[in-house]
Structure 1
Amino acid sequence: MGFVDNIIGKYIATVVGYLVVSRPFLNLSHPRHLTSSHGEVMEDYYQSGRMLVKMAEAIGRVVLAGRELTRLAGFTSRITELMNVLDDLNRGRYERSMVSASDKDKTAERNKLRPGSGTLIMQDHIIKFEHVPLVTPNGDILVEELNFEVKSGKNVLVCGPNGCGKSSLFRILGELWPLFGGRLTKPAARELFYIPQRPYMTLGTLRDQVIYPDSQEDMLTRGVTDSDLKATLEKVQLSYIVEREGGLDAVQDFMDVLSGGEKQRIAMARLFYHRPQFAILDECTSAVSVDVEGFMYEHCRQVGITLFTVSHRKSLWKHHEYYLHMDGRGGFEFLPITSDTVEFGS
């Protein structure tokens, strides 16, 4: 369909236009130019040709407008659906938009769980799940009851197959998803820091990449100077990037300028800048060498950042005290890591 639209809009309309314009010029007996000089004929041809080209472009835009209107209708529909879902969330209503026959069989079980029925307790230096079901807002039960406790200084390695609930666990920790029961003890949201595998690079200076989401005023309020930021970049072995990009005030499209490993190390520099009590590392060192990765984990321990790590690298087991393994069938294990610990989910 796009091929046909382009042929009509770009070529056929132009060919038809020039065919109409050429008739008086190809026919020497045409009355339009019987008394015209050569210059007048060329002037008439140029004016008529330009007008026909503009008309052909206008026809092409009309032909292609249908495709653009279809895209606009799709965007409008999705935005409307998103706004309706957000309104439902604000009212505490969670409902599937599409329900299959297999979903109907679980309706009775889902009705026992209500969003927001759990208890959330704010306490520093501890994360504790007590009989907390791991449930998506749609009602899918991933783990019936999650029970474990992590105190500051005890790193946890989270492992398991895809779809077992690793990301769901972190969404509940970040208060993006509601509690469907039990009791969750955790520090305030500002003391939890999440680093994804592909970190976001904001628009702005190199300084903004390190202090994101803080502004420069927030940085000064914290008492952090540019020298401190350079020292932080040096800890993740990115000191060369300051000189390469022209200083901390350099403005670039850092999403394209930086390599994958450099982006991940910038994200770790952000972690060292904010220094939260707990950090969630979701495969965030996959493009970083093992030696640099080990140094960053050791520095986290030195500054008192407790880590929840999602990774399949065997080299990371030595930096953690516990592992949380979810089997994807509703079961989980939370055990200390010992010298004979067997790696799951790899």
Structure 2
Amino acid sequence: MSTQVIQNQSLTNTSSGFTRFWENVKAIAGPYWYPTNLNGRAFSDVIQAWGMLVLLILLIIGLVGVTAFNSFVDRYLIDVIIQDKDTSKFFSTLSLYGLGLLLITFLTGLTKFVRKKIALDWYQWLNQQILEKYFSDRAYYKINFSSDIDNPDQRLSQEIEPIARTALNFSATLFEKILEMTTFLIILWSISQFAVAFLLTYTIIGNLIAVYLSQELDKITQEELESKADYTYSLTHVRNHAESIAFFRGENQELNIIQRRFNHLFKNSESKIDWERNKDIFNRGYRSIIQIFPYLIFAPVYIRGEIDFGQVSQAVVACSMFANGLATLIDEFGTSGRFSSYVERLADFSDALETVTKQPENVSTIKTIEENHLAFDDVTLQTPDYEQVIVEDLSLTVQAGEGLLIVGPSGRGKSSLLRAIAGLWNAGTGRLVRPPLKELLFLPQRPYIILGTLREQLLYPNTNHQMTDAELKEVLQQVNLQNLLSRVDNFDTEVPWENILSLGEQQRLAFARLLVTRPSFTILDEATSALDLKNEGNLYQQLQETKTTFISVGHRESLYDYHQWVLELSQDSSWQLLTVQDYRNQKASITKPATNTQIQINESSKDKPQ
């Protein structure tokens, strides 16, 4: 009874797994081959893709047809040599046979070329669709907080191309080999019906074994993809944090982490090798039996004079083609495990990108209004998971050209308020009034350094903005980076800036962007924390000269000199808004020690043993 239950559960899991796999394939392939969205692929592109697919099908049919025709030419050629012994017939038949081989060679090359072109076009389209989802509505940012998707960079760079390539290879190979096997079975049927019956029975048994082998290989392949992604990420992590690791002398710990992940990858690879060994032994043995089979069947018949030698040769060729076709199909089914893993991971990734960009139902969000000023109106801000309140009932307005400094204990949500202004976090209630995001410039504590030239670094994010070299040099002079040009040839030199610039230089480079862009509103999250007071003062003075409205987060008392207002956040989600002078007075009254207390401490210290 229990065995029956287990078998039923296994069948159910297999059925549901196949259904889920098929749904994932349709979700990935459907928009390319059968677009239903009006904003989807252009009709001309769809027609071109189908035209290439029809061409591929015709080429495969032609290839199989010429191969089958050449088997008859080969049979006739052998009869001419053995029976007719006619030289003129021999050369004419050999010429026809050679022409067939030449045509087979040409069709084989053209078929592979068309297959790769279709796969490349599909890959390009699929990659573009996923990238658009990834960058749409800041999904690349939100997915780090709202999803358990691992290694999105590897899924984008390494796991999209194999889907298109493997799908085309598998489909084209399946069609070609089934057509080829069917064609040669018909040829074999004309010679011996018993041989066809044997091959069909043998094929069914072989496919059942192949399916069993491929199912276990699917699980191993999925684990291999995940462990390979983890291993690759650990190496990238070391490269991105090389200086920190060097300061901490953490080489041994990093090596242990990388080695641990590699060991996991190694074990998966060992398991895969074991299963591939079983598959290869089965595959080779399967083909060997088919190669022996025609001699057992047709040699006695030829000896008895019931068929000629040309038919024996054609039967051997037919069985060999059938065996090769079947072996190729078994190999393709073996790679289907990797294909299904890629499809599942890409489908999960695509679904996660759509999920994180959807507005949650039955939850409250801060209403955002775009106007040419900045204000909080009774705003209660929460973390994206709604588990913690950051600030309650915040109401304030930042006047044009003024500066607001946000202070408070670490971890109390100072940077979270900036995320709310930027539209990254909106969990909570109330109303936020802010200018359009294109008029805001954000300067974080660790500036974002792009992969590009010095000119692109300075113009970012408006890299289409035009400025002369002289103007850019003046900007570098203003932020005390005039010596930066001595390290490179010119403004159009591309080097790994993140590695050659110190954190202080990176922060000054970020301020240079501010002077280039001259936004109406600027957000600074401890943007001068790595600078000395002189450089900090120089940058904030230039910031004030731009007449921009700005909000800063910081701990230094020196920042008070450049702001008009201070917003202090407290541990209990409360807040207070004061002028800079009132805040200084309040802080001074709290920190100033009482005279009597000081005298009492000095007196009591006399009684303590020295």
Fold match by TM threshold 0.5: yes
Shift of 1:265: 0.5
- Residues 1:69 and 1:181: Cα distance change in structure 2 (over 3 Å): closer
- Residues 1:66 and 1:131: Cα distance change in structure 2 (over 3 Å): closer
For each residue in 1:160-212, what CA deviation from the matched residue of structure 2 results, as whole angstroms up to 9, or x when unmatched? 12221112211110111225322211111011111111112111211111111
1:135-284 correspondence runs (5 A): 135-139=382-386, 140-178=388-426, 180-215=428-463, 218-220=464-466, 224-284=467-527
Counterparts of 2:470 and 2:355 in 1: how far apart (Å)?
Answer: 47
Shift of 1:287: 1.5
1:21-100 correspondence runs (5 A): 69-72=225-228, 83-93=350-360
Q: Which has the larger radius of gyration?
A: 2
Instruction: Please give the secondary structure, in 2, of the residue aligned with 1:219.
Output: coil
Among 557, 564, 567, which residue is 1:324 paired with?
567
Q: Which moved more, 1:133-142 or 1:318-327?
A: 133-142
Counterpart check, 1:286 vs 2:532: no
TM-score, structure 1 as length reference: 0.67
TM-score, structure 2 as length reference: 0.39
AA matched with 2:465: M
Instruction: Please give the secondary structure, in 1, of the residue aligned with 2:474.
Output: helix
- Residues 1:277 and 1:66: Cα distance change in structure 2 (over 3 Å): closer
Instruction: Please give the secondary structure, in 2, of the residue aligned with 1:340.
Output: helix
Among 546, 550, 570, which residue is 1:307 paired with?
550
AA matched with 1:320: H
Shift of 1:81: 6.6
AA matched with 2:227: R
Counterparts of 1:337 and 1:214 in 2: how far apart (Å)?
Answer: 34
Structure holding more helix per residue: 2
Q: Which moved more, 1:328-337 or 1:82-91?
A: 82-91
Q: What residue in structure 2 maps to residue 296 of structure 1?
A: 539
1:120, 1:184 within 8 Å by CA — same for their partners in 2? Answer: yes
Instruction: Please give the secondary structure, in 1, of the residue aligned with 2:492.
Output: coil
AA matched with 2:451: L
For each residue in 1:11-58, what CA deviation from the matched residue of structure 2 results, as whole angstroms up to 9, or x when unmatched? xxxxxxxxxxxxxxxxxxxxxxxxxxxxxxxxxxxxxxxxxxxxxxxx
Between 1 and 2, higher relative CO (CA 8 Å, sep ≥ 6) is seen in: 1
AA matched with 2:562: H
Instruction: Please give the secondary structure, in 1, of the residue aligned with 2:566.
Output: strand
| Identity percentage of aligned residues | 35
2:384, 2:427 within 8 Å by CA — same for their partners in 1? Answer: no
AA matched with 2:531: V
Counterpart check, 1:334 vs 2:577: yes
Among 101, 114, 122, which residue is 2:364 paired with?
114
Shift of 1:251: 1.5
2:409, 2:569 within 8 Å by CA — same for their partners in 1? Answer: yes
2:381, 2:429 within 8 Å by CA — same for their partners in 1? Answer: no
1:264, 1:285 within 8 Å by CA — same for their partners in 2? Answer: yes
1:134, 1:165 within 8 Å by CA — same for their partners in 2? Answer: no
Counterparts of 1:315 and 1:183 in 2: how far apart (Å)?
Answer: 32
Shift of 1:336: 0.7
Instruction: Please give the secondary structure, in 1, of the residue aligned with 2:472.
Output: helix
For each residue in 1:259-318, what CA deviation from the matched residue of structure 2 results, as whole angstroms up to 9, or x when unmatched? 121111101101111111221111121221211110110111111122211111111111
Instruction: Please give the secondary structure, in 1, of the residue aligned with 2:465.
Output: helix
Counterparts of 1:206 and 1:162 in 2: how far apart (Å)?
Answer: 34
AA matched with 1:128: A
Counterparts of 2:368 and 2:448 in 1: how far apart (Å)?
Answer: 29
- Residues 1:326 and 1:79: Cα distance change in structure 2 (over 3 Å): farther
Instruction: Please give the secondary structure, in 2, of the residue aligned with 1:252.
Output: coil
AA matched with 1:132: V
Instruction: Please give the secondary structure, in 1, of the residue aligned with 2:490.
Output: coil
2:419, 2:425 within 8 Å by CA — same for their partners in 1? Answer: yes
Shift of 1:343: 7.7
AA matched with 2:383: T
- Residues 1:84 and 1:343: Cα distance change in structure 2 (over 3 Å): farther
1:210, 1:273 within 8 Å by CA — same for their partners in 2? Answer: yes
Shift of 1:82: 6.1
For each residue in 1:87-138, what CA deviation from the matched residue of structure 2 results, as whole angstroms up to 9, or x when unmatched? 22333127xxxxxxxxxxxxxxxx7x513xx4322221x2111111111221
Structure 1 vs Structure 2 CA RMSD: 2.8
Structure 2 gaps, min length 5: 1-220, 234-341, 592-610
1:132, 1:179 within 8 Å by CA — same for their partners in 2? Answer: no
Instruction: Please give the secondary structure, in 1, of the residue aligned with 2:529.
Output: coil
Instruction: Please give the secondary structure, in 1, of the residue aligned with 2:587.
Output: coil
Counterparts of 2:417 and 2:468 in 1: how far apart (Å)?
Answer: 35
AA matched with 1:130: D
Counterparts of 1:279 and 1:343 in 2: how far apart (Å)?
Answer: 29
AA matched with 2:523: I
Counterparts of 2:586 and 2:574 in 1: how far apart (Å)?
Answer: 18
Instruction: Please give the secondary structure, in 1, of the residue aligned with 2:429.
Output: coil
Counterparts of 1:136 and 1:80 in 2: how far apart (Å)?
Answer: 28
Counterparts of 2:444 and 2:495 in 1: how far apart (Å)?
Answer: 22
Instruction: Please give the secondary structure, in 1, of the residue aligned with 2:356.
Output: helix
Q: Which moved more, 1:184-193 or 1:241-250?
A: 241-250
Counterparts of 1:148 and 1:82 in 2: how far apart (Å)?
Answer: 40
- Residues 1:78 and 1:185: Cα distance change in structure 2 (over 3 Å): farther
Counterparts of 1:320 and 1:300 in 2: how far apart (Å)?
Answer: 11
Instruction: Please give the secondary structure, in 1, of the residue aligned with 2:473.
Output: helix
AA matched with 2:453: T
Shift of 1:78: 9.1
